[in-house]
Amino acid sequence: MKLLVINAGSSSLKYQLYDMTDESVLAKGLVERIGMDSSILNHKATGKEEVTEVSEILEHTTAIRKVLDKLTDKEHGVLNSVEEIQAVGHRVVHGGEAFKGSALVTGDVKSEIRRLFDLAPLHNPPAILGINAAEKNMPGVPQVVAFDTAFHQTMDEKVYLYPIPKVLYKKHRVRRYGAHGTSHDYVSKVAAKYLNRPLEDLKIITCHIGNGASLTAVKDGKSMDTSMGLTPLEGLMMGTRSGDLDPAVVTFVMNKEELSISEVNSMLNKHSGLLAISGSSSDMRDITDGMAEGEPNSTLAFEMYEYRLRKYIGSYAAAMNGVDVIVFTAGVGENSVVVREKVCENLTYLGVEIDPELNKVRSGDPRRISTPNSKVEVLVIPTNEELMIARDTYRIVQENN
């Protein structure tokens, strides 16, 4: 079965075409600047030359049509006709409490995703645009949605509730939902396979640290706790997001600076984190370069980031009463030797010991960076959310056949 995985943003659309007979990627690409004057389509079929095309793409339906044109193009394509695509899988950020796993798209499913617009105003609306656009371009082809929140639906009430008046949960479903679930789910499964141990026997802390960052305590293969909350703002210090702070900071700053709700939201989501403390960049590469040159603001930004990350690892070891495996993944986790080194340097009380040489090795494959003496296995595992979505799509389409 060939299937297309789509990750639609408000002005972008990422895609990967899979052949599920061997889970190979036949082609992938990205459409950017949808709705703006010159949209960019970047397409790469496996074994063929990459192609970039600039044209006017005003909405998602046209974006998908252009993608399908590329997939069936004589020179750059991999399909003889669009009919070869037998299913489409979509990434959706928020599944609320309704979705505990991926689901076949129906009218009811779409209505539920729309109902959740309030909880993910930036992310769920484009997902609906993507679904509708795929339906228009590929009528009758089954579509599946995979939610970033679904993996965390196993969290216990004592973990997901905030200690605030319960009426807010009853009326507005204010609670912790988490995010990056597809990634935490994927890397914890790969970790167990890599170690050749049953997932159900392991206490794993998965560190998905990219531009957005979250940690999950995975016990018995299930998410027991995760650092993101009602929205992806809670938890770790991130590229441009603050992560945890005293909630009173929000009202205090709004009052003193006369900020509106949208201004304070923008401050916490777009102008905080590494960017705010370094004063120059949200990118960990720039931060570690600055630190290597002795630049004080980058050094402080790094130290705060590492300290907060390490405290979360400690708290999840406490939550699970131990930890067998720590996994690093996503942009920073997979690539930053110095972040992994500094975090692990201060986890010796847990019995963590990493091998500095193994930590430096670069590879696209899962790998161990801990020493044989380490009481905790420390792994670097490249995440693959698209593959996870492709697998769910394949399974659900088969089940509904």
Which active-site residues does the annotation give? 148
Residue nearest to ligand AMP (CB): 331
Selected binder of ligand AMP within 53, 73, 283, 353 (CB under 6 A): 283
Judged by beta carbon, residue 283 or residue 345, the one nearer ligand AMP is 283
Contact between 57 and 66 under an 8 Å Cβ cutoff? The reply is: yes
Selected binder of ligand AMP within 78, 332, 369, 396 (CB under 6 A): 332
Q: How far is the CB of 305 from ligand AMP (least distance, A)?
A: 10
Selected binder of ligand AMP within 29, 77, 178, 239 (CB under 6 A): 239
Per-position DSSP letters for 381-398, written without gaps between them:
----HHHHHHHHHHHHHH
User: Which of the stretches 56-64, 243-251, 282-290, 351-359 binds ligand AMP when contact is defined by CB under 6 A?
Assistant: 282-290
If one asks whether residue 285 binds ligand AMP (CB under 6 A), the answer comes out as yes
Q: How far is the CB of 208 from ligand AMP (least distance, A)?
A: 8
Q: How far is the CB of 48 from ligand AMP (least distance, A)?
A: 24
| Cα-Cα end-to-end distance for the chain | 13
Judged by beta carbon, residue 31 or residue 88, the one nearer ligand AMP is 31
Selected binder of ligand AMP within 98, 224, 330, 376 (CB under 6 A): 330
Share in percent of the chain as helix, strand, coil (round to 5): 45, 20, 35
The interface mask with ligand AMP, positions 162-201, x = CB under 6 A, is ----------------------------------------
Bridge-based pairing of strands 222-226 and 203-209 is unpaired
Radius of gyration for the chain, computed over Cα atoms and rounded to the nearest angstrom: 22
Report d(CA 244, CA 361) in Å as an integer: 32
Bridge-based pairing of strands 51-55 and 39-45 is antiparallel
Bridge-based pairing of strands 325-329 and 203-209 is parallel
If one asks whether residue 235 binds ligand AMP (CB under 6 A), the answer comes out as no
Q: How far is the CB of 212 from ligand AMP (least distance, A)?
A: 6
Per-position DSSP letters for 184-243, written without gaps between them:
HHHHHHHHHHHHTS-GGG-EEEEEEESSSEEEEEEETTEEEEES--SSTTSSS--SS---
If one asks whether residue 243 binds ligand AMP (CB under 6 A), the answer comes out as no
If one asks whether residue 9 binds ligand AMP (CB under 6 A), the answer comes out as no
Judged by beta carbon, residue 153 or residue 288, the one nearer ligand AMP is 288
What would the 3-class secondary structure string for 112-129 be? Answer: HHHHHHHCCCCCHHHHHH
The three-point CA angle 100-104-110 to 5° equals: 85
Judged by beta carbon, residue 149 or residue 282, the one nearer ligand AMP is 282
Q: How far is the CB of 330 from ligand AMP (least distance, A)?
A: 4
Under the rule (CB under 6 A), what is the footprint of ligand AMP? 210-211, 239, 283-285, 330-332, 335-336
